[in-house]
Amino acid sequence: MPQKLDQLRESPSQTAGPYVHIGLTPNALGNHGIYPDDLGTTPIKPGARGEAITIIGHVRDGAGMILRDALIESWQADAAGLYPSPNERRGKADPNVTGWARILADFDTGDWVLKTIKPGAVTLPQGGVMAPHIALWIVARGINIGLQTRIYFEDEAEANADCPVLARIEHKPRVQTLLAKKVSTGQYRFNIVLQGDDETVFFDM
Among 28, 49, 61, 181, binds another protein (CB under 8 A): 61
Number of residues that bind another protein (CB under 8 A): 79
Which C-beta is closer to another protein: that of 20 or that of 114? 20
3 binds another protein (CB under 8 A): no
Stretch that binds another protein, among 32-40, 48-56, 109-117, 182-190 (CB under 8 A): 32-40
What would the DSSP string read from start to end of 131-175?
PS-EEEEEE-TT-SSPEEEEEEETT-HHHHHH-TTGGG-SSGGGG
Query: Shortest distance, CB of residue 77 to another protein, whole angstroms?
Result: 8
* Distance between start and end Cα atoms, the chain: 32
Q: How far is CA 62 from the centre of its chain?
A: 20
Which C-beta is closer to another protein: that of 35 or that of 51? 35
Among 131, 159, 165, 180, binds another protein (CB under 8 A): 165
Query: Shortest distance, CB of residue 28 to another protein, whole angstroms?
Result: 12
Which C-beta is closer to another protein: that of 128 or that of 183? 128
Which C-beta is closer to another protein: that of 103 or that of 135? 135
**Separation of alpha carbons 63 and 49, rounded Å:** 41
Instruction: Show contacts with another protein in window 166-195 (CB under 8 A).
Output: 168-170, 174, 194-195
Pairing of strands 100-104, 122-123: unpaired
The CA-based angle 156-179-122, given to 5 degrees, is: 50
Which C-beta is closer to another protein: that of 53 or that of 84? 84
Instruction: Show contacts with another protein in window 72-131 (CB under 8 A).
Output: 73, 75, 77, 83-89, 98-100, 122, 124-125, 130
Query: Shortest distance, CB of residue 202 to another protein, whole angstroms?
Result: 5
Stretch that binds another protein, among 48-56, 109-117, 145-153, 182-190 (CB under 8 A): 145-153
**How does DSSP classify residue 66?**
B
Q: Shortest CA distance to 179 belongs to which of 205, 159, 194, 196?
A: 159
Q: Are 134 and 156 a contacting pair, CB within 8 Å?
A: no
Query: Shortest distance, CB of residue 190 to another protein, whole angstroms?
Result: 16
Residue 108 φ/ψ region, left for φ over 0, alpha for ψ in the -120 to 50 degree band, beta for the rest = alpha
